[in-house]
């Protein structure tokens, strides 16, 4: 189905801003200089950005195919996402099992309708943008760009009456079906839920063994000869032993691993319990990732964070689906169930509204089920990899945390040797992904760090040239919100990631978009990763708009540590560079390339061993428009010199 007739709301000002940004970035007036913070690192690699593109890196000739999907065609399974008008009102029990997007988007609350004239202007602007070659990280960093704040409005959660979040199955029929990757493309996880959740004072967990966990699959919708039943089924509970609070226990969550799959192949499948009438799902389909190798890449990887379940979320997801991703990375803060009391009363700011009036930070766990139902058209057909954010902590009885996150998603933990749902790795074509935990011990003496060392040591860059990391709390945000909050994690882990020449780091947490230049230890470095923060998925908390470098917005250093990240103060005043002697810059730092407070999503297209195209799409733009784009170019001859794997080049 070709999506036509969709009403987009925007103002021509948005596109004028875009034009200004591009003019700004092309001026090239750039002051190069060190800006290092306290030196925590012994590595001495500090290279200037003046090096010309290397012959090894090569140059790519822009291909019209890169400019976006050839046709905005949405598969039938994804059409429910577009099929509804928003409403105007706006302790895990595990059992091993043997052998085992709106059609008329309501002007999201942030949008206003434009006239025909701005529509035509916008189309012309988009066409002009699309015909230009994106900038490259090989270029000298341009003047940092800050897009002026426009009217972004207010994000409002979908209510429990919205048909997209209501239970649409009966009996033991599966719902909330999702696909996740294993460590290799020959294997994948299928997850689903049977039975409904319970809420109240006397909830009784379902028996995970009451319903079987089976996936039947094959290469055609009418032929599913293979069967898998290896995995687990479980039930989790969220318990609050306080008078008046309502407890929650989930439906039965099933995770089954498929093995022996062909890479790059479309598989059809049904999941459920074939012994129960009506116990199997409809036929779904997903495509496995391409073969692991240096010349094998997926078409598009969507990157989102802090998604939530608002009308802005639906706009983000609709735009993302129209970009036809092969894989989705979700960088934490999923459904924001912890912005609700157990009686279903929600707020945009829990601490502001409920303060100390609740005996424990409550959650309303049905929001997780709402999110799973809304997302099912996406998650059942496009593999999605999730890493935890602070909104997944969800404290409960006995100081238990992360119960919902750990239970609902499948992770390649065992396959990647981490044996943890919080950090893991996997290969997709010529990319090795490392997903890390911001809210689990990240110290050099801890298990996560030791696992990371081993995992990075095993990476063969001649097989997977690209090394991409993802976690929740950003190291290089310049917004006031969460400014240098993750400094302790950066101090512990940055040198290790740098020494293995990580190419890109994706994060969320800050509710805005920001892309860095290549950076290491706050200093421009052609071998440092590009840090991209996409905590702009659309959740109901306020958007981050203030920058720490603006007058009056530099936070008190003592206020920056997060108790859930260890609570220590690791950030100090910068020791050199334009911000020497201060905690904050007095202008947008040179390591910050582009920042904008808008909702949106990003698409990464890895073209070959050295070139990847990154594009960020803000929600208020036309589908084809791109707000920020850059070719991320690897220079292996220069940046892998600390590795014996350099011999491969």
Q: With respect to Fe ion, which residue has the nearer C-beta, 187 or 390?
A: 390
Q: With respect to Fe ion, which residue has the nearer C-beta, 309 or 622?
A: 309
Dist CA 627 CA 489 (whole Å): 30
What tokens were used for 79?
């059409």
Dist CA 504 CA 467 (whole Å): 7
Q: With respect to Fe ion, which residue has the nearer C-beta, 267 or 471?
A: 471
Could you say which of 101, 254, 472, 482 is catalytic?
482
- Of 281, 307, 286, the closest CA to residue 298 belongs to 286
The minimum distance between CB 307 and Fe ion, in angstroms, equals: 11
The minimum distance between CB 353 and Fe ion, in angstroms, equals: 18
Dist CA 24 CA 38 (whole Å): 31
3-state secondary structure of 249: strand
Has 482 been annotated as catalytic? yes
The minimum distance between CB 541 and Fe ion, in angstroms, equals: 9
Asked whether the beta carbons of 529 and 504 are under 8 A apart, the reply is yes
* Residue ranges in contact with Fe ion by CB under 5 A: 333, 389-390, 509
Helices (H), 106-177: 116-130
* CB-side neighbour CA atoms (13 Å) of 327: 27
The minimum distance between CB 336 and Fe ion, in angstroms, equals: 9
DSSP symbols for 11-56: -HHHHHHHHHHHHHHHH----------S----------TTPPPPTT
Q: How many residues does the chain have?
A: 649
With CB atoms as reference, the residue minimizing the distance to Fe ion is: 509
What tokens were used for 279?
């116990």
Dist CA 649 CA 647 (whole Å): 5
The minimum distance between CB 409 and Fe ion, in angstroms, equals: 17
Dist CA 373 CA 84 (whole Å): 14
Backbone angles phi, psi at 34, to 5 degrees: -70, 150
Q: Which residues contact 45 (CB under 8 A, 6 or more apart)?
A: 520, 525, 527
Q: With respect to Fe ion, which residue has the nearer C-beta, 392 or 503?
A: 392
The minimum distance between CB 482 and Fe ion, in angstroms, equals: 8
Q: With respect to Fe ion, which residue has the nearer C-beta, 21 or 313?
A: 313
- Of 528, 551, 504, 511, the closest CA to residue 639 belongs to 528
Dist CA 598 CA 334 (whole Å): 18
Q: With respect to Fe ion, which residue has the nearer C-beta, 57 or 436?
A: 436
Write b or e for each residue in 7-31: b if 16 or more Cβ atoms lie within 10 A of its Cβ, otherwise e: ebbbbbebbebbeebeebbeeeebe
Asked whether the beta carbons of 371 and 157 are under 8 A apart, the reply is no
Q: With respect to Fe ion, which residue has the nearer C-beta, 508 or 636?
A: 508
- Of 295, 292, 263, the closest CA to residue 428 belongs to 292
The minimum distance between CB 333 and Fe ion, in angstroms, equals: 4
The minimum distance between CB 160 and Fe ion, in angstroms, equals: 24
Residues labelled catalytic: 482
């Amino acid at each position: 189905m070709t999506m036509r007739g969709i009403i987009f709301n925007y103002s021509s000002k948005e596109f004028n801003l875009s034009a200004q940004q591009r003019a700004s970035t092309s001026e090239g007036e750039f002051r190069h200089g060190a800006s290092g913070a306290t030196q925590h690192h012994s590595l001495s690699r500090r290279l200037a950005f003046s090096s010309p593109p290397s012959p090894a890196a090569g140059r790519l000739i822009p291909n019209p195919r890169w400019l976006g999907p050839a046709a905005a065609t949405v598969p039938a399974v994804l059409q429910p996402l577009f099929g509804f008008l928003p409403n105007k009102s706006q302790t895990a029990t595990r059992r091993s099992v043997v052998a085992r997007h709106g059609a008329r988007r309501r002007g999201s609350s942030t949008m206003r309708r434009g006239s025909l004239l701005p529509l035509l202007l916008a189309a012309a602007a988009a066409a002009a943008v699309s015909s230009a070659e994106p900038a490259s990280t090989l270029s000298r960093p341009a003047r940092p760009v800050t897009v002026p704040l426009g009217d972004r409005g207010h994000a409002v959660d979908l209510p429990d009456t919205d048909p997209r979040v209501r239970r649409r199955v009966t009996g033991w029929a599966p719902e909330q079906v999702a696909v996740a990757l294993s460590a290799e493309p020959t294997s994948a996880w299928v997850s689903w839920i049977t039975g409904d959740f319970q809420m109240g004072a006397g909830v009784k967990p379902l028996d995970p063994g009451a319903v079987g966990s089976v996936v039947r699959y094959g290469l055609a919708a009418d032929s599913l000869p293979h069967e898998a039943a290896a995995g687990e089924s479980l039930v989790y509970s969220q318990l609050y032993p306080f008078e008046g609070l309502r407890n929650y226990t989930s439906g039965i969550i099933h995770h089954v691993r498929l093995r022996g799959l062909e890479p790059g192949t479309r598989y059809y499948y049904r999941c459920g319990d074939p012994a129960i009438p009506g116990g199997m799902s409809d036929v779904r389909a997903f495509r496995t990732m391409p073969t692991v190798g240096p010349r094998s890449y997926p078409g598009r990887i969507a990157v989102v964070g802090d998604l939530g379940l608002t009308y802005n979320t639906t706009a983000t997801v609709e735009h993302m689906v129209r970009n036809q991703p092969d894989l989705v990375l979700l960088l934490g803060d999923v459904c924001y169930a912890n912005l609700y009391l157990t009686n279903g009363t929600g707020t945009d700011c829990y601490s502001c509204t409920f303060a100390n009036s609740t005996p424990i930070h409550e959650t309303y766990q049905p929001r997780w089920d709402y999110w799973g139902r809304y997302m099912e058209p996406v998650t059942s057909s496009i593999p999605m990899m999730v890493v935890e954010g602070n909104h997944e902590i969800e404290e409960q009885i006995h100081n238990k945390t992360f119960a919902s996150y750990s239970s609902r998603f499948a992770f390649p933990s065992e396959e990647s040797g981490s044996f943890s749902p919080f950090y893991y790795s996997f290969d997709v074509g010529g990319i090795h992904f490392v997903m890390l935990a911001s809210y689990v011990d990240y110290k050099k003496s801890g298990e996560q760090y030791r696992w990371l060392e081993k995992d990075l040591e095993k990476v063969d860059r001649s097989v997977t040239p690209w090394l991409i990391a993802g976690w929740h709390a950003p190291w290089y945000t310049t917004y006031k919100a969460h400014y240098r909050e993750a400094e302790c994690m950066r101090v512990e882990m940055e040198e290790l990631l740098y020494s293995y020449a990580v190419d890109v780091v994706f994060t969320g947490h800050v509710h805005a978009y920001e892309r860095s230049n290549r950076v290491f230890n706050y200093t421009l470095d052609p071998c440092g990763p590009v840090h991209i923060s996409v905590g702009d998925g659309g959740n109901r908390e306020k958007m981050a708009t203030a920058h720490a470098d603006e007058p009056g917005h530099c936070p008190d250093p003592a206020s920056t540590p997060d108790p859930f990240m260890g609570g220590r103060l690791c950030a100090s005043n910068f020791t050199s560079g334009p911000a020497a002697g201060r905690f904050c810059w007095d202008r947008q730092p040179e390591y910050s390339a582009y920042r904008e407070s808008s909702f949106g999503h990003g698409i990464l297209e890895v073209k070959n061993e050295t070139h990847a195209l990154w594009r960020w799409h803000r929600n208020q733009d036309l589908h084809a428009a791109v707000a920020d784009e850059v070719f991320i170019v690897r220079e292996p001859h220069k940046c892998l010199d600390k590795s014996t794997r350099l011999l491969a080049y």
